[in-house]
Amino acid sequence: MGLEWSVMTPTLWIYASIWLAAALSPLVHAWIKRTPMALGIGASLILAWLVQSILVWHLDGDLMRALGALLPAWALETSEMHRYITAAWLHASTIHVLGNALVIILVGVPLEQRLGRGRFLAIYLIGVLGGNIGWTLANWGSTTPCLGASGAAFGLLGCYLACWPRDEIEFPLILIRRWPVAWIALFKFGLEVLQYPTATSNVAHLAHITGFIACYVLAKPIAKGGLIPIGSVDRGPSSKGGQDAEHNAIISRMGDLTTDPWDGELTGPAHRTLQRLREEGDELETRQAWLEQLAEQAQCPVCKGDLDAMEVGGVTVLRCVLDSTHLEWP
Q: Please, what are the domains in the chain?
A: 5-243 (1.20.1540.10), 254-329 (no CATH)
pLDDT at position 128: 98
Do 303 and 292 contact (CB within 8 A), yes or no?
no
Environment class of residue 202 by beta-carbon count within 10 Å: exposed (0-12), middle (13-18) or buried (19+)? exposed
Strands across the sheet with 307-312, in order?
307-312, 315-320, 328-329
Residue 78: what pLDDT?
A: 87
* 190 to 129, 203, 239, 253, 291: CA distances (angstroms): 21, 15, 27, 39, 50
Separation between Cα atoms, residue 97 and residue 159, nearest integer Å: 21
**Could you tell me which of 21, 42, 26 has the C-alpha nearest to residue 91?**
42
Q: What's the pTM?
A: 0.78
pLDDT digits (tens, 9 = 90+) for 262-280: 888 888 988 999 888 888 8
What pLDDT does 189 receive? 96
**Closest alpha carbon to 214 in 147, 139, 125:** 125
Cα–Cα dist 157/169, whole Å: 11
pLDDT at 204: 85
| pLDDT score, position 108 | 97
Burial of 160 (0-12, 13-18, 19+ CB in 10 A): buried
Q: How high is the pLDDT of residue 114? A: 92
Render pLDDT for 100-135 as a digit per residue (tens, 0 to 9): 999 999 999 999 999 999 999 999 999 999 999 999
Per-residue model confidence (pLDDT) at position 245: 58
**Whole-number Å distance between alpha carbons of 222 and 158:** 13
Q: Would you state the pLDDT for residue 313?
A: 67
User: With a cut of 70, which residues of the chain have pLDDT below it?
Assistant: 1-6, 199-201, 234-252, 313
Pick the closest to residue 188 from 176, 169, 170, 172 (CA basis): 172
